[in-house]
Amino acid sequence: MGKKRSRVLALFYVVAIRRCHSTGNLKSVHFRLAKLKQFYITQKYKYFWPPKHINYLKRKALFIINPVSGGKKKDQVPQLIHKHLDHNAYEYQIEFSTLDKEIRAIAVEAAKHYDIIVAVGGDGTVNETASAIAGTDKLLGIIPYGSGNGLSRFLQIPMDPVKSIQLLSTGSIRSIDSAQLNGRWFFNMAGMGFDAHISEVFSHTTRRGFSSYLRSSIEEISKYKAQEYHLEIDGNVYDRTAFMLSFANSSQYGNNAHVSPHASLHDGLLDVCVIKPFPPYRLPEMGLRMLTKTSESSKFVEIIRGRHIRVERATPGPVHLDGEPSIIGATVQIDVIPDSLNVIVGPGYKG
C-alpha cells in the first residue's frame, strides 16, 4: 500500500508541475504543494497519507554562493537560508564557488540532481548559473547580492535577502527569453563599446561594488572614442557611429538605470540600443534619463528591435555578457532564444 500511495503522490506532483507550465499559471506550484502538504499533516488525512509519503512533494534545491560578488560579505547567508526557507517545500544544499570550483561547473553538475538552482550573487553569478540550465526544465532562483542586480530588479525580486529567500516558496514561475552572443548565453544585457570597455577595466580592479564601477567609468569616459559599427538586424542594414551598443533583454543595466524602458523578456526580441556620441557635459542628463525611464526620447539614443543581429566592427575587442567582460573577434552574431529559462519572479512582476 505504501508504494501505491507514493506513486499517487508522485503522479499528482508531475501533473501539477505540467499544468502550471502549460496553463501559464503564475502562482508558484511549489507554494501550492507546500500548503497541500501542511494541510494533510495537520488534518485527519495524515492517517491516510502518512507524512513520510507527503515528503515526496518536496523539491531539491542547491544554493550557489559567490563569495566575492558585489564586494558584500556572505558569511551569514547559510544561516539566513536555514532560518527563512520553507522546509516543507524544499530539501537543500549549499555550495560556495571558488577559483578551483567555478559557478558554472557547480551548476552543470547540480542540474543532474536538483530541481531548482539558486544563484546567490549579482548578474554575473546569475549568468553563470542560468547558462547551465537554460533550455531545460530546471528552475532558477535568485538571491541578489551584486553591485547592480539588473535582472533581479527587473523581475521584481526583493533586494532584501530574507524576502528573496522566502520568495522561493511564495513566488511565481515565468519562462523568459534568453539570448546567445557567438554561442554564449546572456539573460539581462550584453554590450559593446564603452560599457564593455569599462567591464574589462573593472575586472582588473581589486575593489568591487557600484562605487568602484562608477569611479572607473568617470576616469575612462574622457579617453574613450566612439566606434563605427555595421549592423544587420532581421535583414535590415544600419551603419552607425556609436559610443556604445547595448543589447537589452530586460530594460536596465542595474541599480534601476533603464537604457530601454520598454524592453520585454517575453517578446522574442532584443532592444539594440545605439548610444550615439554625446558631449561629456551631457553625461548627468543621460544618467538622469536612465533613472527616470526617459532615455528612449533622447536624441543620442536610438533603439532598434530584432531577433537576429549581426555586428561588424573594425577590430576585435571587448564585449560584456551580463556585465562579465570577454575579448572576441570583429564579427558578432546575436540570437534570441524565446522562453528558454524558467525563473522564480517577484509578486510585482507583470512581464
pLDDT 10s digits, 136-161:
999 999 999 998 999 999 999 999 99
Condensed to tens digits (0 to 9), the pLDDT of residues 314-339 reads 999 999 999 999 999 999 999 999 99
Whether residue 244 contacts residue 196, with contact meaning beta carbons closer than 8 Å, is answered with: yes
Whether residue 178 contacts residue 340, with contact meaning beta carbons closer than 8 Å, is answered with: yes
With 70 as the cut, is the pLDDT of residue 203 above it? no
Across 116-143, average pLDDT: 97
Q: Which of 9-23, 27-41, 168-182, 203-217 has the highest mean pLDDT?
A: 168-182
d(CA 126, CA 203): 17
Q: Measuring CA to CA, how many Å separate 99 from each of 11, 68, 102, 104, 181?
A: 41, 11, 6, 12, 25
Whether residue 242 contacts residue 184, with contact meaning beta carbons closer than 8 Å, is answered with: no
Condensed to tens digits (0 to 9), the pLDDT of residues 205-254 reads 666 556 666 666 666 677 789 999 999 999 999 999 999 999 999 999 99
Condensed to tens digits (0 to 9), the pLDDT of residues 270-292 reads 999 999 999 988 989 999 999 99
User: To the nearest whole percent, how much of the chain has pLDDT over 70?
Assistant: 78
Asked whether the CA dihedral 97, 107, 134, 328 is positive or negative, the reply is positive
Whether residue 327 contacts residue 316, with contact meaning beta carbons closer than 8 Å, is answered with: yes
With 50 as the cut, is the pLDDT of residue 163 above it? yes
Across 193-213, average pLDDT: 71
Range with the poorest average pLDDT among 15-29, 77-91, 181-195, 202-216: 15-29
Residues 6+ apart with CB under 8 A from 155: 142, 174, 250, 265, 343, 345, 346, 349
User: The sheet that has 301-306: what strands, in order across it?
Assistant: 301-306, 270-275, 244-248, 189-193, 317-321, 324-328
Across 158-176, average pLDDT: 96
Find, among 186, 142, 61, the residue nearest to 346 by Cα: 142
Q: Assign residue 174 a region: left if phi > 0, alpha if psi is -120 to 50, beta otherwise? A: beta
Model pLDDT, residue 25: 47
Whether residue 21 contacts residue 175, with contact meaning beta carbons closer than 8 Å, is answered with: yes
Model pLDDT, residue 172: 93
With 50 as the cut, is the pLDDT of residue 106 above it? yes
The model carries a pTM of 0.83
Asked whether the CA dihedral 52, 31, 152, 339 is positive or negative, the reply is positive
With 80 as the cut, is the pLDDT of residue 3 above it? no
Model pLDDT, residue 28: 47
CA 129 to chain centre: 9
Model pLDDT, residue 37: 52
Tell me the sheet residues that pair with 14. Answer: none
Model pLDDT, residue 185: 98
List the grid coordinates of 202: 573593472
With 60 as the cut, is the pLDDT of residue 27 above it? no
Tell me the sheet residues that pair with 336. Answer: 179
Condensed to tens digits (0 to 9), the pLDDT of residues 47-91 reads 444 544 445 568 899 999 999 888 788 899 999 999 999 998 899
How large is the C-alpha radius of gyration of the chain? 22
Residues 6+ apart with CB under 8 A from 105: none
Residues 6+ apart with CB under 8 A from 215: none
Q: Which residue has the higher pLDDT, 294 or 211?
A: 294
Q: Return the DSSP state at 55.
A: G
User: To the nearest whole percent, how much of the chain has pLDDT over 90?
Assistant: 68
Mean pLDDT over the full length of the chain: 86
Find, among 193, 195, 187, 271, the residue nearest to 233 by Cα: 271
Model pLDDT, residue 275: 96
Q: Assign residue 151 a region: left if phi > 0, alpha if psi is -120 to 50, beta otherwise? A: alpha
Across 22-42, average pLDDT: 49
E strands within the chain?
59-65, 90-96, 116-121, 139-144, 172-181, 184-186, 189-193, 227-233, 236-242, 244-248, 252-254, 257-258, 270-275, 301-306, 308-312, 317-321, 324-328, 331-345
Model pLDDT, residue 4: 54
